[in-house]
Structure 1
């Protein structure tokens, strides 16, 4: 069958020129070009970049891969709020698009896509030859049905609806009539009510897993039908999640990408204390860490495990909730108080104490320098004495700020660093550290807390999820019509240079309103036992099981 090749988007010529003059780097070029529908290999050739070749390292067939990771209880994937949840299901529930560690967006269940010049029409081409585990063909109707599910604003905790608002009928809370059209067995056209450059990138995010028509809600392990190379075996939250290769299923990806190599995958939960991860590694109980953090990076190096590192826009946000229902006396609704809290904190100290200096200092605006349209606003002011005077003037110097963080190493240390600096400024601060399962049940309900936010490819994505008025994941309670209007404007601009001026305004609004203390961008690490291939850390914490295998001679199946 002849594969479809989409035409180049008009903006790609400008991208090539920017790359040639050094104005953008490889990652930014690949993210922007592939979002617009260009394949990664084509983009590399057009841009004069080396084309990534399939690894020639030999990979053994078989083996059980044991991964240290929090094992989460699962519900409807569109309500997933943690990357690890996507890892637990990614072996059998696949995605239309896959985000690569180098910044490229690669078609998975989609072969490719086309985007018109103003990003109001997307033509999605389904990869031919894919079958569900029950033997039925995967078609454009499956794509249409899943996108319509994402648009359902009435579904509890459905963050996908915030990502596809340009397809939603505000009157019904569902997809607009005619917004999602099945053209034939392998083609779907999306007609957006307004431009949105993030559609393809959002399809790669972890809540966007593609579900079979038989799925009726709840734990996807109970349904178990997907298109991936593995099948679900068991899920015991807090303990283990087990998948096995679907040997009776002719996986479509074997011819396209190679693999799968592994016979079995076990996600094993050792809690949030890295000392327990280190002990498990030393005892030979695991092969791969989900991530390595802080001082334990050097500890893992010390036992001879192989490290990998990637730059990312992963971060922690210390936010004061502006919601009026938080407390009878809520100082965080006061803009001067929020700005003063930020003024008291030196973000560089947070990076050094919280993540051992491994990353980049951030500027309280949640747009990373590795994002395509990041605007450089200059350094933040730091003046603890002035911060104290501001809070005194607002009548809140006697208020006790209870700063809540999860109990894992880097977030706990960062919270401690923030609390210590606020105390040094003369403020009253209590620290509360809670277990991960407790924290994530109520993460939006704490008045003053720290939350981890994942890396995402485009600058507009997190702004829409976290700071748009009424967004499902808007934990700050921030609501500003001007911010929403500017965000809509930014979503229309595929050209990053044109978008950067708008991003400067958006970033400036967050800083001027003291919405967050966002101290640094994390470099991410993981370690494996040296016997794995293709197990490098991903900037969005994704684990692509179809790529990973053992080196020849290293296959072991624990009893």
Structure 2
């Protein structure tokens, strides 16, 4: 094993690719830091200084009010809303943090290193961190959390899909010898196959670190390493964080005395009314025509070009009146052929993004392979639906009631009807929709960005995973995905990714129409509120300008 200050040979090769113009700087940062290189060292390999942080000095004290949906709290490893993690980030912290420039920065880990074939990871725990009950934070805590994430039998535990290379398939738990505590500040992970996604998986929002006494409820005796603790959480109404008493937090920031999350529903009209009347200081996300309205009140706008998206997905195992309409690939392909993705971008998201290609791998992902655009052929779609014996079947397209997902679904339904395909629309409030989001026969779901394309495919489309809402199960796909996840070099991985993306299109797994540019507005005197590519709100960085 190399020490934490050495440079993985792949990182040097990536730097050469940037120099000769075959690799973007953002892709380089993701690749190099995943392998254990610090952001400063990564920039130095390029002959650059790490960019200085933007000026934004915050005063101490005050209460900041954030517009955000508040849904029922649950065990973090089963989180399926970023909004949940944005509240618990005040007290449950993360091993690493995904940055806007694509790099992955240390947090509760001070550093990490990876062997050449990505089968052994050494995690170096940040010294001097304490829990808010006075306990020292140690390697045993890290090992405890990773073992929890490996418990694949726990319903809704999507972290198990990220830790698959550590799991014993017979027991559904961490394999003997997979997680080893070397000493109080060192954990070693030994994988059963190469996996380049482990560190990136640590940055995802369900990977919050909990105390060994954790009972599954973040609001019950909330012991965390962060600077705040919850004092109130009412679903659909309000959540409040206050400074943790008598806790010497390890980090920098935590300027505010109190942070309030206030739920104004999913409709942008109500959210803008709260902005206009001065009831909040920042919003979770600004959408569509309301971006210009929020500009008009003099608020600061922050934008992130992302791999966030929405999918229209048929569930291949769902039964409707005793049949499984979406088990037939012809039916799924017909749905995709009847929809023009560029129209969904325009009508559903006000053209604030880029057209996608129905395979859920973004040009922002290092291993993205360019394929021909999906074919828009309404007549061919109707013929294919008839060939499958489903010409008279009425599809029910279900969506949440918020602005953009509803509009995207409405536009898709209209195009399906134009192609002669019968479609009924059902719109649900978020409080109802998200209870069974993975089980509907045909529905739309939004997905947040992940640093690597293979992460997305493993989370959403590998057989039997907790978040596999399409119920897609394909042995060739799973085998190719395992191969792709073992290849550190993204250019070499791209050859396999092209095959995976092609399977997604050929099987009609999803209609995935566009990639979203996302926006957040905040009052001019708020600092630390910039939009993050994965919607993260880093509460310790928030404050009011000095």
TM-score (norm 2): 0.98
- Report what 1:277 is aligned to: 271
**1:92 touches 1:230 (CA, 8 Å); kept in 2?**
yes
Distance in 1 between the 2:511 and 2:504 partners?
Answer: 10
Distance in 1 between the 2:139 and 2:391 partners?
Answer: 60
- Report what 1:388 is aligned to: 382
Q: Does 1:304 align with 2:298?
A: yes
**2:56 touches 2:528 (CA, 8 Å); kept in 1?**
no
**2:318 touches 2:440 (CA, 8 Å); kept in 1?**
no
- Report what 1:179 is aligned to: 178
Q: Does 1:522 align with 2:520?
A: no
Distance in 1 between the 2:225 and 2:131 partners?
Answer: 5
- Report what 2:150 is aligned to: 151
Distance in 2 between the 1:325 and 1:425 partners?
Answer: 24
Pairs within 5 Å for 1:315-464: 315-323=309-317, 325-464=319-458
Distance in 2 between the 1:422 and 1:325 partners?
Answer: 21
- Report what 1:79 is aligned to: 78
Distance in 1 between the 2:50 and 2:456 partners?
Answer: 30
Which range moved further: 16-25 or 353-362? 16-25
**1:6 touches 1:113 (CA, 8 Å); kept in 2?**
no
Task: Please give the per-residue CA displacement for 1:203-223, whole angstroms capped at 9, x wherever unaligned.
Answer: 111111001111112x21112
Distance in 2 between the 1:325 and 1:427 partners?
Answer: 19
**1:40 touches 1:104 (CA, 8 Å); kept in 2?**
yes
Task: Please give the per-residue CA displacement for 1:40-93, whole angstroms capped at 9, x wherever unaligned.
Answer: 111111113441223333211111110000012111110111111110100100
Distance in 1 between the 2:233 and 2:77 partners?
Answer: 18
Q: Which runs of 5+ in 2 are unaligned?
A: none
Distance in 2 between the 1:38 and 1:240 partners?
Answer: 40
**2:318 touches 2:441 (CA, 8 Å); kept in 1?**
no
Distance in 1 between the 2:26 and 2:257 partners?
Answer: 33
Distance in 2 between the 1:211 and 1:114 partners?
Answer: 23
**Secondary structure of 1:73's aligned partner:** coil
- Report what 2:195 is aligned to: 196
TM-score (norm 1): 0.96
**Secondary structure of 2:264's aligned partner:** coil
- Report what 2:118 is aligned to: 119
Aligned residues: 544
CA displacement at 1:324 relative to structure 2: 5.0
**2:82 touches 2:535 (CA, 8 Å); kept in 1?**
yes
**Secondary structure of 2:206's aligned partner:** helix
Distance in 2 between the 1:354 and 1:325 partners?
Answer: 28
Distance in 1 between the 2:521 and 2:321 partners?
Answer: 43
Q: Does 1:239 align with 2:244?
A: no
Distance in 2 between the 1:367 and 1:484 partners?
Answer: 16
Task: Please give the per-residue CA displacement for 1:101-139, whole angstroms capped at 9, x wherever unaligned.
Answer: 111101100001001111100000001110110111100
Distance in 1 between the 2:447 and 2:191 partners?
Answer: 27
Which range moved further: 263-272 or 391-400? 391-400
CA displacement at 1:176 relative to structure 2: 0.9
**Secondary structure of 2:45's aligned partner:** helix
- Report what 2:205 is aligned to: 206
Distance in 1 between the 2:250 and 2:327 partners?
Answer: 53
- Report what 1:555 is aligned to: none
Which range moved further: 51-60 or 206-215? 51-60
- C-alpha spacing 1:498/1:266, structure 2 compared with 1 (3 Å): same
Task: Please give the per-residue CA displacement for 1:481-532, whole angstroms capped at 9, x wherever unaligned.
Answer: 0000000000001100000000000000000001100000000101001111
- Report what 2:91 is aligned to: 92
Distance in 2 between the 1:479 and 1:129 partners?
Answer: 45
**Secondary structure of 1:207's aligned partner:** coil
**1:181 touches 1:190 (CA, 8 Å); kept in 2?**
yes
Distance in 2 between the 1:168 and 1:244 partners?
Answer: 38
**1:326 touches 1:445 (CA, 8 Å); kept in 2?**
no
Compute the RMSD of aligned alpha carbons. Answer: 1.1
- Report what 2:37 is aligned to: 38
Q: Does 1:136 align with 2:130?
A: no
CA displacement at 1:331 relative to structure 2: 2.3
- Report what 2:18 is aligned to: 19
**Secondary structure of 1:11's aligned partner:** helix
**Secondary structure of 1:33's aligned partner:** helix
**Secondary structure of 1:222's aligned partner:** coil
Q: Does 1:230 align with 2:228?
A: yes
- Report what 2:526 is aligned to: 532
Task: Please give the per-residue CA displacement for 1:372-422, whole angstroms capped at 9, x wherever unaligned.
Answer: 000000211111111111112222111111100100100001001100100
**2:319 touches 2:325 (CA, 8 Å); kept in 1?**
no
**Secondary structure of 1:404's aligned partner:** strand
